[in-house]
Structure 1
Amino acid sequence: MSYCELTMTERSTLQVALAQQMSFRAIAKLLKRAPSTISSEVRRHARTRQHYQANKAQDNRHYRRLLCRPKRKLLPGKERFELITHMLKKYLSPEQIAGQLKTMDIPSLRDAYVCKETIYTAIYALPVGQLRHELIHCLRHGRSQRKPRTGGVDRRGQIPERVSIHLRPPEVHKRVIPGHWEGDLIKGKNNASAVGTLVELTSGYVMLVKMNGATATAAVEGCAALNRMPLSLRKTMTYDQGKEMARHAEITQNTGVGIYFCDPHSPWQRGANENINGLIRQYLPKGTDLSVYSQAELDEIALSLNMRPRKRFGFKCPIERLTKVMLATENKKAATH
């Protein structure tokens, strides 16, 4: 249990009790405090028991709090604050500003350096008004409030028995053997509708799946689309930690696909899928109600993407690439037998 300082009411009660010659232990019992708290309070604020005054003790407490409080490094109107404001208005990030302040040699600003967190704190501590609005607008994301810092801890509900991406077979990263997929959901207007996206890593082949929401049940039903592919093309799938994958063991049982989960807030671990989602948004823009699209229409969009030439494949399309990779794999198997 954390310590709580004596209140003004408790100090007044203490003063009266001391005047009545009550012992520290009796006063502590009356105030429901530790005897050491009472003796420390009296020793700190008075020469003797008879000299203790509640109002003076309270004033001393306020004075000590002011002394121990560190002075703010960035105050409006000061030269350092004006310099940082000028740099913010040139759309430098707080991190870039902090880095430049380290290298500056300005006689009047010998101690100009402040870290990026100090800059962020100073901006968001400004009173509501034109200056605060203007400086927040200069930040890259321009949020009116800071997002809470989680310290790397994922606060979402945990997916039971999930397997980390770091345990994924090394062959997946090499993108040589077909059958390894990355998956995701793209959501429609007000997050009320969703479409499942799947991309095969060796070929960039895309599948779009109509979803009945973003629930675990919808994910089980949607991932059944993988059964359209031959068994040799159903090895693994890498997904983020969205709660819709809570029933991943059931998906594995239904499709034979082993599912691996990325680290929290690490979209680059599914780079192929993130890239293809950007292309899909050309057909299904943000803010669109995705529930109006039938599976046939989504298949047409997927076909269009699968016929799109890709630079990394020498401008061959994913369908050509998938066919070529599958053929090479079959020939290799035949040769070994």
Structure 2
Amino acid sequence: MVKLFAPNTRTEFVDLVCGGVSIVAASRRVGAAHPTGLRWWAQSGHMMTVSMGFVGGLADPAPSVEGPGRALGLAERGMIQMGLRNGLSYARIGALIGRDKSVVWREVKRNISADGVYYASVAHTKAHQSRRRPKVLKLLENEALCRLIEVWMDDGWSPKLISEMLVFHFPDEETMQVSHETIYRALYVQTRGSLRADLAEKLSMKRKQRVPHTADRTKNSPYKEAFKISERPAEVQDRAVPGHWEGDLIIGSGGTAIGTLVERSTRFTILLHLPGDHSAETVAEAMIREMGHLPDHLRRSITWDRGTELAHYGRIQTALETTLYFCDPHSPWQRGTNENTNRLLRFWFEKGTDLSTHTPEDLRQVAAKLNRRPRPTLNLETPANRLNQLLQTAA
């Protein structure tokens, strides 16, 4: 004959064990057999016991009083338990304990038991033991993982991108996955990992804050008759149609510069070699030369800043059979794709350095590296692959 227990009997049993009472003693107190207690404990969210086995209590019970603080305390978890038993919503429970409903939702999801019940004492003890348990540092134990991270960082990859690509390449190997926060900690606190000490320098763009241009640059502007960015068709904004580009210059010391062009839908990048100067004549020749290799449907439009380097925009439009649009004054965010790409390019072309030392072949190699780099915005595909797909479709 199956013995029936009051609804709160199992909760009382779990609370006793979490408080340090042995499973045998807790079973006796609530009037349950030892095997029943073992089954209840296993279903509630099994935690470590003392060395004598299941007849002992928890090796490290949580203190009965904690908080209030950033972490949930036992009293708050008790309110969550009571609210769930009474059918309250996460939002209502959160309001009762002064927490956001998302905090309650995550707490319940993290600690729901095998029998589908939330036990406050189990959740509280788990949280306590998790905080005290020594964490295994993957970067101290996995040399292969460290070497792979170093290779990618040498190519200018960010810790965030590296973390995502580790999951992509090693979906079933947790030992080859690490969060970007762990990589940052290993870079700045060398005792937390075994990455090369000089890798921290790869993170710094060495960029100073931009100085706003206060002079009136609209007077005698060559762009009075040019198309404004507000006149661009909708297909440019939503990236639905390929062939729309954004461009700008990366400026170095002594007036040296490199031109950058980025296709909005694929993020494919073209670099313009500008020997000697970045005058309107030089930029126009470089742009016509490099973009002239593209098929017509991949040069529908170009959006540029209002710098004087594009004063010959009429000549560029005619030669490339495209349309040039210009941003509003002092509004670089209107070319967000190009601005983000220029930030990545600063890994190779540091601000304040002489950019004229880079040959056309150097620029091709850097562009190839960037175009082979997986992009989260492309679902971890590369700009080169996306562009090749467009070229094959056209062919």
Instruction: Find the counterpart in structure 1 of residue 146 from structure 2.
Output: none
Distance 1:325 1:263, change over 3 A: same
Deviation at 1:177, TM superposition (A): 1.1
Counterpart among 301, 318, 323 of residue 236 in structure 1: 301
Of 374, 378, 382, the match for 1:313: 378
What is the deviation of 1:323? 2.4
- The alignment yields a C-alpha RMSD, in angstroms, of 2.4
Match of 1:186 among 236, 244, 250: 250
Measured against aligned partners, the alpha-carbon deviations of 1:107-133 in whole angstroms (never above 9, x if no partner) come to xxxxxxxxxxxxxxxxxxxxxxxxxxx
For normalisation by structure 2, the TM-score amounts to 0.44
1:197 and 2:260 equivalent?
yes
Amino acid aligned to 2:233: P
Please, which of 214, 226, 238 is the counterpart of residue 162 of structure 1? 226
- Are the aligned partners of 1:178 and 1:326 in contact in 2 as well (CA < 8 Å)? no
Partner of 1:215: 279
State how far apart, in whole Å, the 2-side matches of 1:270 and 1:297 are. 25
Instruction: Write the distance in 1 (CA, Å) between the matches of 2:326 and 2:359.
Output: 29
Pairing of 1:142-153 with structure 2 (within 5 A): none
Cα distance in 2 between the residues matched to 1:175 and 1:164: 18
Q: CA–CA distance in 1 between the matches of 2:280 and 2:376?
A: 36
Q: Deviations over 1:281-337 (max 9, x none)?
A: 101101111111111110000000000000011111101122234555x49xxxxxx
Local SS of the residue matching 2:247? strand
Instruction: Report the equivalent of 2:66.
Output: none
Deviation at 1:230, TM superposition (A): 1.4
Does the 8 Å contact 1:240/1:262 carry over to 2? yes
Give distance in 2, aligned partners of 1:182 and 1:157: 24
- The C-alpha deviation readout for 1:131-179, integer Å capped at 9, x for no partner, is xxxxxxxxx9799xxx7867xx645641242110111111001112111
| Counterpart position of 2:369 | 304
2:68 is matched with none
Find out whether 1:277 has 2:342 as its counterpart: yes
Q: Residue 283 of structure 1 aligns to a residue in which SS?
A: coil
User: Do 2:279 and 2:309's aligned partners in 1 also have CA atoms closer than 8 Å?
Assistant: yes
Q: Contact (CA 8 Å) 1:157, 1:243: kept in 2 or not?
A: no
- Take 1:205 and 1:326, find their aligned partners in 2: how far apart are those partners? 13
Residues 175-212 of structure 1 deviation map (CA, whole Å, 9 limit, x = unaligned): 1211100010111113x211100000110000011013
1:219 Cα shift?
1.3
1:209 partner letter: L
3-state SS in 2 of match to 1:254: helix
Counterpart position of 1:260: 325
Amino acid across the alignment from 1:312: T
- Per-residue deviation, residues 23-75 of structure 1 (Å, max 9, x unmatched): xxxxxxxxxxxxxxxxxxxxxxxxxxxxxxxxxxxxxxxxxxxxxxxxxxxxx
| CA–CA separation in structure 2 for the residues paired with 1:141 and 1:232 | 38
Mapped contact 1:202–1:322 kept (Cα < 8 A): no
Deviates further, 154-163 or 298-307: 154-163
Distance 2:259 2:242 in 1: 20
| 1:182 match: secondary structure | strand
Quick one: distance in 2 between partners of 1:171 and 1:148? 31
Q: Quick one: structure 1 residues 296 and 325, their matched pair in 2 at CA, closer, same or farther if it must change by over 3 Å?
A: same
Gaps of 5+ in 2: 1-207
Q: What percent identity do the matched residue pairs reach?
A: 37
Tell me which amino acid in the other structure corresponds to 1:167: E
* Secondary structure of the structure 1 residue equivalent to 2:250: strand
User: What secondary structure, in the 3-state scheme, does the structure 2 residue paired with 1:228 have?
Assistant: coil
Contact 2:227-2:324 within 8 A present in 1 as well: yes
Count matched residues: 185
1:296, 1:175 → 2: CA distance? 30
Report the Cα offset of residue 233 of structure 1. Answer: 0.8
- Residue identity in the other structure for 1:279: L
Query: 2:240: which partner in 1?
Result: 176
Letter in 2 for 1:249: G
Q: Which amino acid aligns with 2:252?
A: G
Flag structure 1 segments of 5+ consecutive residues without an equivalent.
1-139, 332-337
Q: 1:248 to 1:148 in 2, by over 3 A?
A: closer
Q: Equivalents in 1 of 2:266, 2:281: separation in Å?
A: 29
Q: TM-score, normalised by structure 1?
A: 0.51
1:274 and 1:148 map into 2 onto residues whose CA distance is 17
CA distance in 1 between partners of 2:258 and 2:367 (Å): 12
